[in-house]
């Protein structure tokens, strides 16, 4: 609930701006938005290690398969190899980052873990999809 308007506000609302020009990749990204919203909805109620750890495990599982599918699709649409290599490196870094956060959470837990997880999700959704993944759309438009 928003304290000022009294309305329930979603952490992230999917909109056309997030689209990368492929329905299947878009629905996988929507799935990520759902995970982020679920996490945000529950974090106020259960400030514990279990919620953070479950969300992170869900994200790790999701990210590994999603990145593979996204990279395979990028090859299919003949996305330039140099750009794809850079994109793959970014995916690897995102995965490393989730593993580090997951490790820290198992040691520390608490509010810091919740904050780190939420910031990670936001960076991935907002920065990665809107900057890196959007480049796929530019490539498709050039064809
Ligand atoms: Fe990506």
- pLDDT, tens digit, 9 for 90 and up, residues 76-122: 999 999 999 999 999 999 999 888 888 877 776 667 777 778 888 88
- Top pLDDT among 132 and 116 is at 132
C-alpha 45 – ligand 1 centre gap (Å): 31
d(CA 117, CA 100): 11
Ion ligand 1 — residues with CB < 5 Å:
133
Mean pLDDT of 22-43: 87
Query: 86 vs 22, 36, 121, CA distance in Å?
Result: 20, 25, 20
d(CA 40, CA 36): 6
Residues whose CB is less than 8 angstroms from the CB of residue 64 and which lie 6 or more positions away in sequence, other chains included: 95
Domain 21-142: assigned CATH number: 1.20.120.50
The verdict on pTM exceeding 0.85 is no
Using CA of residue 65, residue 66, residue 69, residue 71, what is the dihedral sign? negative
Q: Where are the domains of the chain?
A: 21-142
C-alpha 29 – ligand 1 centre gap (Å): 9
C-alpha 70 – ligand 1 centre gap (Å): 7
Lowest mean pLDDT, pick from 11-15, 106-110, 138-142: 106-110
């Amino acid at each position: 609930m928003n304290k000022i308007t009294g309305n329930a506000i979603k952490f992230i609302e999917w909109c056309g701006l997030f689209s990368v020009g492929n329905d299947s990749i878009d629905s996988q990204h929507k799935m990520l938005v759902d995970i982020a919203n679920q996490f945000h909805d529950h974090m106020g109620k259960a400030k514990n290690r279990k919620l953070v750890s479950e969300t992170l495990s869900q994200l790790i599982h999701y990210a590994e398969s999603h990145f593979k599918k996204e990279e395979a699709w990028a090859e299919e649409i003949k996305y330039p190899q140099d750009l794809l290599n850079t994109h793959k490196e970014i995916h690897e870094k995102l995965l490393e980052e989730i593993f580090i956060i997951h490790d820290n959470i198992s040691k520390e837990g608490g509010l810091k873990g919740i904050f780190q997880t939420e910031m990670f999700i936001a960076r991935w959704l907002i920065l990665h999809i809107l900057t890196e993944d959007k480049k796929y759309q530019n490539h498709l438009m050039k064809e």
